[in-house]
Amino acid sequence: MQRKSRTAEIILSALPYIRKFKDKVFVIKYGGSAQIDEELKNDFARDIVLLSMVGIKVIVVHGGGKKINEYLERLNIKSEFKDGLRVTNKDAIDTVEMVLSGLINKEITALLFKHGTKAVGLSGKDSELLQATVLGGGKYGFVGEIHSVNIELLNSLMNQEYIPVIAPIGVGLEGESYNINADLCASAVAKALKADKVIFLTDTSGVLDKNSELISKLDENLINELKQNGTISGGMIPKVDACLECVKAGVKNAHIIDGRISHSILLEIFTDSGIGSIIKGQI
């Protein structure tokens, strides 16, 4: 009986957050171990279904780095990273698009449907959802940056209670494909929609200090300091940059959380302390 009472207390403690977030838009970047481990995949799907059922409008933007690496190796296509971004040549872009749009995207939509919610898989090329131009003058190859998001399409789907699941492939003026960093893609979508939250699932606890301790709250000044002294480096750079872009553009909160923890999304959203790092315009 005591255990049942504790369960009831936990459920009741989430009620203020459920009320607060009803009808709000959350953009969730899905990647890392949560996208590979079978148990974590199912936990993620259940979390998304629960968010949808309590009235939160969810958009999922997914990555697929490990699966892309696997297929590039099979095809003997070389790949390297620069500034935390995958340099994508002409041979690689077709494989990247195939894996993201044709394989991973459909797996996620099928998983969400299996767990009880309506989901629609989209590439950024569908209805020119993600219009893009080449990034950095082409120094990363066919890597793009988003300059326009078709929010009418996304709002239409959400108003019909569908969850859009977006593969980060952008489309250029001539219909060419661009590989978009999934973190920056999630940021662009969140900014365009003025989302209440953008949440990045990672394979780390969040932003860590020199002693590998979690930094629970950050702002622009602290992030710049940590980048300059090398505390924030590698693949964490585009994540924190994406977070900063979001909060500067009107997204209320950006979160970096550990996707290796079961139900990490619920723990971050529906508890007082959360489990990851939150980036705000001002602390």
Domain ranges of the chain: 21-279
**What is the Cα–Cα distance from 246 to 25, expressed in whole angstroms?**
13
**Is 21-279 a CATH 3.40.190.10 domain?**
no
* Tokens coding 90: 């002409």
Q: How confident is the prediction for the chain on average, in pLDDT?
A: 91
The continuous run of DSSP H or E covering 80 comes out as strand 80-82
| Active site (annotated) includes residue 91 | no
φ/ψ bin of 259: left (φ > 0), alpha (ψ from -120 to 50), beta (otherwise): alpha
Average pLDDT over residues 59-88: 89
Tell me if residue 65 is catalytic: yes
Active-site residue, from 29, 57, 125, 191: 29
How far the first Cα of the chain sits from its last, in Å, is 41
**What is the average per-residue pLDDT within 174-191?**
94
Q: What is the pLDDT of residue 6?
A: 59
| 32 is an active site residue | yes
User: Rounded mean pLDDT of 237-243?
Assistant: 85
Higher-confidence residue of 231 and 10: namely 231
| Helix boundaries (H) for the chain | 2-13, 15-21, 38-53, 65-74, 90-97, 105-114, 151-159, 182-193, 220-228, 236-248, 264-269
